[in-house]
Homo-oligomer: A and B are copies of this chain.
Amino acid sequence: MNKRQQTRKDNQQRILQAAEEEFGLHGFKGTTIQNVADRAGLPKANVVYYFSNKVNLYTAVLGRITRSWNDVFNRATAEDDPAEVLDHFIRAKIEQSVLNPRASRIFAMEIIQGAPHHKDYLRQYLRNWVRDRATVIEQWIAEGRMHPVDPVQLIFMIWATTQHYADFETQVLTVMNRGEYEAQDIDHIGDCVSTIILRGCGLEPPARSGQADQAPARP
């Protein structure tokens, strides 16, 4: 590869990374190009050189985030076992939330504000994604493999509960009087959420190594 193309790619990547951190920390309005530039170790004008303006940089960050989501549930078909699929989906999303809450928070702030820069994603991509996934769930229900529930609300519920641990991290940790999440938390939270939702859908939670229905994780 060209040296030009190389540094171009490198710098853009560094800027995007820095921007994601800043936007995640301070939101769109609260983030300044200068902050991003400082974090990326570049002069401000250079950031503008690559991304023209703030909105453009922001939408680039937003796009990078949403492009890599919901993968887990994507491959599931009506032939798969609903309990397995949902359990796996829930746990994957919780792991994402705990390990990289920043991405979830940026997205959350965008939606709370009314998705001023990302409406197309909702209208075009996400709506169809939900409908598509809903048909799979409907098939499971039609075959009597799970209780009848509104599939769309079920998806909302899974999103809400799992992303809560990222978006409301401060509240969760403060209420639990913890400094930060630990590895075991991923399992414990996954157990709790998965158990309730699956049971709520009339599904038996798949067998797991440790059982953790009741005990809250206390280090």
Contact = CB atoms under 8 A, between A and B. Distances in A.
Contacts of A160: 160-161, 163-164, 168
A193 B151 CA distance: 11
Dominant SS among interface residues on chain A: helix
A171 B111 contact: yes
B199 A122 contact: no
Interface in A88-109: 105, 108-109
Interface residues of A, number: 62
A111 B175 CA distance: 12
A189 B87 CA distance: 22
Contacts of A196: 149, 154, 157, 196-197, 200-201
Nearest to A199: B200
A157 B167 CA distance: 13
Nearest to A108: B112
Contact of A153 (B156, B193, B202): B193
A193 B161 CA distance: 12
A116 to B, nearest CB: 9
Interface of A: 25-30, 105, 108-109, 111-115, 119, 122-123, 126-127, 130, 141, 147-154, 156-157, 159-161, 163-165, 167-168, 170-172, 174-177, 188-189, 192-193, 195-202, 213-216
